[in-house]
Structure 1
Amino acid sequence: MKQRILKVHPKDNVLVALTDLSKGEVLSYDGAEYLLQDHVAAKHKFNTIALKAGDELLMYGVLVGKAQQDIPVGSLLTTANIKHASTSFETNEAHLSWNKPDIQAWKDRTFDGFHRNDGQVGTANYWLVIPMVFCENRNLEVIQEALLNNLGYGRNETYQQQAKELIALYEQGKSLDEILNTQLVYTEQKEKANRLFPNVDGIKFLTHTGGCGGTRQDSQTLCGLLAGYITHPNVAGATILSLGCQNAQVSILQEEIEKRVANFDKPLYILDQQTIGKESELLSMAIKQTFAGLIQANANVRKPAALSKLCIGLECGGSDGFSGISANPAIGYTSDLLVALGGSVILAEFPELCGVEQNLSDRCVTREDASRFSELMTTYSSRATAAGSGFDMNPSPGNIKDGLITDAIKSAGAAKKGGTSPVVAVLDYPEKVTKPGLNLLCTPGNDVESTTAEVGSGANVVLFTTGLGTPTGNPIAPVVKIASNTRLFNKMRDIIDLDTGSIIEGEESIEAAGARILEYVIQVASGAVEVSALRHRQDDFIPWKRGVSL
């Protein structure tokens, strides 16, 4: 019989419903029986002991909330009877021992990637066109219109064809009901065979709203992020458009590039509009130089590389009550496998580490990194509180609806993405990953801002777990979407790549799912599998302004 309830950690005083439970049911777990006081939908929780107002609620073995009123055993836990609470933390002695997973089956495996002169290996090969300031965004649009279709990187024209079908029906005098009930045709477009440059995966245009008008810190940070993308192993080179007078000066960008790669040698074309003069001349030069860059980029070919050259970003978005017990711990095991193989992983989203700071601090290899983590978390939390948006306000309406009723519950589950390995470095946005192992990167919990940051710091693949469904992608790194439950996977298979609902169903262990995910990553990194976000051109790119964003 399928297990219907689950205790995540022996210390917990809460049980998770794995399926819908009815009021009045008597449920047995680990020798104890519980009479349900309420209907408890799948993904939600009920308490296993009577709680008085102010009593602590434990899940994942940590404090995740406090009772706001007396709560009888077997009651549905909601935002009405539980409020967020988490433990304080301090820099203690390190606890670095961990049970490394068995990597015998993986130690000689490789992926086919693009080798760069600085020693990095890309999982893709892109050319970038980047504005230093939002004033240049329109010029990027002109270049995009000129190049993409002509070079074989055009979008699927299915929806244009559907619009033409509707126009034809209207012109034929069809009724409104007939038009609404028409079954429109959808066809997948196969474009790779038509590419002029078959070894170039695409030209990506990183439009943004920054570069001027904000603080000088914003501009410096933006230049650091853009430098992270230019020096990224998935990038062959870039065309840069500058107006000339903006805060984000080209000289700052060049300094940030130098910080990341001392002997940077990729093709880099920089055009300054105020120096060149006529817009038509600027655009002609940009198109010509970009074309020249594509010729050079096309000379790169995939070659075998060790799995230690992988750097995986760990992300979650649209999380649900199953995320922390299926998808997140599954990619946590994937993370441990990769770390044991000498690769790098990035755990970010600092607002979603609230309540598990002590565990992560204790796992820091150096006390300097533990102190830096504490400082970054404390500063971020204080700024959020001062702005009236503390970490306790992090769960979204969708999170709450599907069982994540406090930030600490959400965070304790989100932190499972980082596995169990030691923390080798703590980075502030938008610093670059330079050490193999688990890296902590300060980013907001916002899906796109955090994914954008992880790739800017060097992630050449991103594992993105979701319980509610999200199309999020990235311009230059494949984003693998992983469902926490099978119902979501079946419902949104066009944007979800993998399913870990098998863990909830009791059909697969966390370790087996994590190994399966690593196998999939190898195929994606080799260009053998195209993830959904790439197929749909979900090129989300949002730089983080260092104000408050949860």
Structure 2
Amino acid sequence: MSTTQNGFLQIHPEDNVLVALTDLQKGTPIHFNEKTFSLATDVAAKHKFTVEALANNAEIFMYGTLVGKTCAPIPQGAAITVDNIRHAAADYHLGNRKTAWTIPGEAESFKNRTFLGYYRQDGSVGTANYWLVIPLVFCENRNINTLKEALNEKLGFATPRGYQNEVSSLVDMYQTGKSVKEILEADLLTTPENNTANKLFPNIDGIKFINHDMGCGGTRIDSDALCGLLAGYITHPNVAGATVLSLGCQHAQAAILQDEIKKRDPNFSKPLVLLEQQKLGTEQILMHEALKQTFAGLIEANQAERKPAPLSKLCIGLECGGSDGFSGISANPALGYLSDILVALGGSVILAEFPELCGVEQDLSDRCVDEPTAQRFMNLMRTYNARAEADGSGFYANPSPGNIKDGLITDAIKSAGAAKKGGTSAVTAVLDYPEKVTKPGLNLLCTPGSDVESTTAEVGSGANIVLFTTGLGTPTGNPITPVIKLSTNTALYNRMPDIIDINCGSIIEGIETIPATVIRILDYVIDVASGVKIPKAVKLGQDDFIPWKRGVSL
């Protein structure tokens, strides 16, 4: 951050707009860089206003990069809006390598820190120990749900929070003659019951049952990608073993899945139950085999124990969702600083959401370790955007109504802040969905900007922790990887404490520096990776899973 003054912030010395840190009223005097002027409009917190008058088609800069152009003259001190600016981003080309970066001093203090994880035979280390039950095709979703009903409660893995008690209260009120007004005014808040206290297998964190709507009826590209994604989950260090149900006639064949597993782990040795309904016959036969073989696998998985592991065994997915105008100046740069620390320690980080890297392509491609890596990144970006434009859209359409309402009014503004999660280290690899992370350092993974699709993909590529920043509040989680939620502002942290784990709003308020915040975050990450602390998304059973259909999803 370049310049901070009462009520507003200049992010980069080259920026010609300022960020309002609080609601500012029309007429408020602004003293900035030897300039004094009054605001020409009201400016809501998180939104931006001009430093000087701008003519039509003038360029708008934030984070030192082009983020838009005016579509009407804007007076000095006026808020920029969707009505007076449009999306614009700088072009990019194959440039010179710029891979030098400064290792944060805090990395030294974490050099000998460890977490308690589950070692796998391929050398990876899990932050959790799950059994996975998945369908190869949507036709098996019902059977997956049947297995869930049969196994979870009896084995002590039922989701801790349900609302059956609340429904019982409503029924009692109705049956005792309470009025509609009394029912609507009733307090139904209760303390969640802990249904996992008597787990039969104490060393297993849970059985995760996944549904999806793919595997057949779509393109072969999508069904092959699904097999790759599912193979990423089966070989994931947080997974001890898996049960896979196949119908038999679908595009996503078991043989394709097995080939994808071998690509990721040639010496794969985890227990894997693979059952094909059309071969076995009746549903009862299928269910009985699934139950017996899954139970036997759970006995084996329960033998795993947590052991100390270096932080280099962490692979952290960097994600943002429900972003606001503070995302790029609090939580996202905090993750960037943490990313640089982890890279310095030999760990891996994943920066995804390619539509939200629009406008920062030059910087990221220049940071790639070699020209082929840089070229692959640029090709993926251009191909993705071209597909979107061919379908009548483009990266410019990425910001959601919530983003726009809270100050992210062009894709380039959103992207410039989102990219801060990637820190400053060199890009060691560029991956196309659903490829696996195989190199330490900063990895760029081609995914949509859509929260759940991107988180799903990052975990499929190997993320054993996901750090998820949000300014508006997003309850996203994942079946097998802990998702830690970080708020960009204190108001959100106070309003939605049931889904937010860490507050980064203290950065905006000037209470805490980014390095101090990062130390707090990394301490929490180590506790979560060790099973000492449980993130809110895990407590809520927020097991979101959406594979990416390779059509356009922004």
Per the normalisation by structure 1, the TM-score is 0.99
Q: Is the 8 A contact 2:161 2:194 kept in 1?
A: no
By how many angstroms is 1:512 displaced?
A: 1.4
What displacement does 1:290 show? 0.8
Please say if residues 61 and 68 of structure 2, whose CA atoms lie closer than 8 Å, have aligned partners that are also in contact.
yes
1:89 aligned partner: 92
Paired residue secondary structure (2:174): helix
Alignment match, 1:293? 297
| TM-superposed deviation, 1:186 | 1.0
Alpha-carbon contact 1:326-1:501 (below 8 Å) kept: yes
1:52-131 → structure 2 map (5 Å cutoff): 52-102=55-105, 103-131=107-135
- Larger displacement relative to structure 2 (226-235 or 287-296): 287-296
Equivalenced residue count is 550
Partner AA of 2:193 in structure 1: Q
Contact 1:192 1:198 in 2 (8 A): no
State the partner residue of 1:349. Answer: 353
Q: In 2, distance between residues paired with 1:284 and 1:34? A: 76
1:150 aligns with 2:154: yes
Determine if contact 1:68/1:80 at 8 Å carries over to the other structure.
yes
Counterpart of 2:397 in structure 1 is 393
Deviation by residue 1:313-341 (Cα, 9 ceiling, x = unmatched): 00000000000000000011110110000
1:9 partner amino acid: H
Query: Does residue 222 of the first structure (1) align with residue 226 of the second (2)?
Result: yes
Task: Verify: 1:20 aligned to 2:23, yes or no.
Answer: yes
Q: Find the residue that maps to 2:163 and give its secondary structure.
A: helix
Question: Corresponding residue for 2:408?
Answer: 404
Other structure's SS at 1:149 match: helix
Do the aligned partners of 2:318 and 2:467 also contact (CA within 8 Å) in 1? yes
2:42 aligned partner: 39
Q: Is the 8 A contact 2:158 2:196 kept in 1?
A: no
The question of whether the paired residues in 2 share the 8 Å contact of 1:197 and 1:298 is answered with yes
Partner residue, 2:516 = 512
Unaligned runs of 5+ in 1: none
Aligned to 2:7: 4
CA–CA distance in structure 1, aligned partners of residues 21 and 550 of structure 2: 39
TM-score by length of 2: 0.98
Percent identity for Structure 1 against Structure 2: 65
1:278 aligns with 2:282: yes
Give me the whole-angstrom Cα distance separating, in 1, the residues matched to 2:440 and 2:34.
Answer: 44
Residue 366 (structure 2) pairs with residue 362 (structure 1) = yes
Deviation readout 1:196-216 (Å, 9 max, x if unpaired): 001100001111000000111
Q: Report the AA paired with residue 369 of structure 1.
A: T
What SS does the corresponding residue of 2:197 show, helix, strand or coil?
Answer: helix
Q: Secondary structure at the match of 1:480?
A: strand
| CA positional deviation for 1:114 | 0.4
Cα distance in 2 for partners of 1:339, 1:506 equals 27
SS in 1 for 2:245: strand
Residue 389 of structure 1, CA deviation: 1.3
**1:333 and 2:337 aligned:** yes
Give the residue type in structure 1 aligned to 2:61: L
Which of 227, 233, 238 aligns to 1:234? It is 238
Q: State the shift of 1:445 in Å.
A: 0.3
* CA pair 231-28 structure 1, distance change in 2 beyond 3 A: same
Among residues 119, 132, 139, which one is paired with 1:135 in the alignment? 139
Q: Is the 8 A contact 2:92 2:361 kept in 1?
A: yes
Runs of 4 or more consecutive aligned structure 1 residues displaced over 2 Å after TM superposition: 29-32, 155-158, 188-193
Unaligned runs of 5+ in 2: none
Q: Does 1:530 align with 2:554?
A: no
1:376 aligns with 2:363: no
How far apart, in 1, do the equivalents of 2:34 and 2:480 lie? Answer: 52
Counterpart Cα distance in 2 of 1:156 and 1:453: 26
Give, in whole Å, the separation in 1 of the partners of 2:550 and 2:11.
35
Structure 2: distance between partners of 1:17 and 1:157? 39
Alpha-carbon separation, structure 1, partners of 2:517 and 2:181: 47
- The 5 Å alignment of 1:493-512 reads 493-512=497-516
- 1:210 and 2:208 are equivalent in the alignment: no
Post-superposition CA distance 1:14-68 (Å, at most 9, x none): 0000001010111112332231000001000001021110110000000000011
